[in-house]
Amino acid sequence: MAFFRTVGFAETSPSLDGHSVTLRPPQMADFEEWAELRAASRAFLTPWEPSWPADDLTRGAFRRRLKRYAEDWRTDQSYAFFIFRRQDDVLVGGLTLASIRRGVAQAGSVGYWMGEPYVRSGHMTAAVKAVLPFAFGTLRLHRVEAACIPTNTPSIRLLERCGFAREGYARQYLCINGTWQDHLLFARLKDDPE
């Protein structure tokens, strides 16, 4: 049983509205749009993500991904969202609250990706700001963490715009694009000013 667990899967499958975006859990109907955006953005995303499996963009791999998302959501481990531009419901990226830790921590980590055609449009800032009330309110987290490669200046600026404070430096923290990479560590607390 999760200490400080709040609500069940059916109760926490919301759509979240941000300034210019809507976040909602991925669905099988999103496969083609997701696969096209990821394929078109692959060269842009590769330096910032774990290595992609050979079958990553297949329908079967997407179906397995959705099953894992649903199980993680049901067990309060992770909450995956796709990000849609509100004006026309176009998929622009994804965001996940992952590594949920209950008990004395009440913390989780935010990770995100943006399709290359939509970078520097403000959509990810809107998405991160939209997920924070869900994290702190619905999920009752005390702390949301993020990590990014030190050369990822746009991600650093995004986190700072969203009220995250830089807290440290982790050597060889995550395996990104097949290489263990150093990361800057950021966090936002529930009571931090907006």
Q: Which residues neighbour 170 within 8 Å (Cβ) at sequence distance 6 or greater? A: 147, 182, 183, 184, 185
pLDDT tops 70 at residue 137: yes
- Three-class secondary structure of residue 93 per DSSP: strand
Nearest to 96 by CA among 119, 122, 123, 73: 73
Residue 193 vs residue 140, higher pLDDT: 140
Q: Which residues neighbour 162 within 8 Å (Cβ) at sequence distance 6 or greater? A: 125, 128, 129, 132, 188
Nearest to 184 by CA among 172, 194, 170: 170
pLDDT tops 70 at residue 46: yes
Which residue in this structure is represented by tokens 């009752």? 140
Please tell me the CATH code under which domain 14-189 is placed: 3.40.630.30
pLDDT-based confidence at residue 124 (cuts at 50, 70, 90): very high
Task: Specify the pLDDT at position 13.
Answer: 67
Taking all residues of the chain, what is their mean pLDDT, rounded to a whole number?
93
pLDDT tens digit sequence for 8-31: 444 456 899 999 999 999 999 999
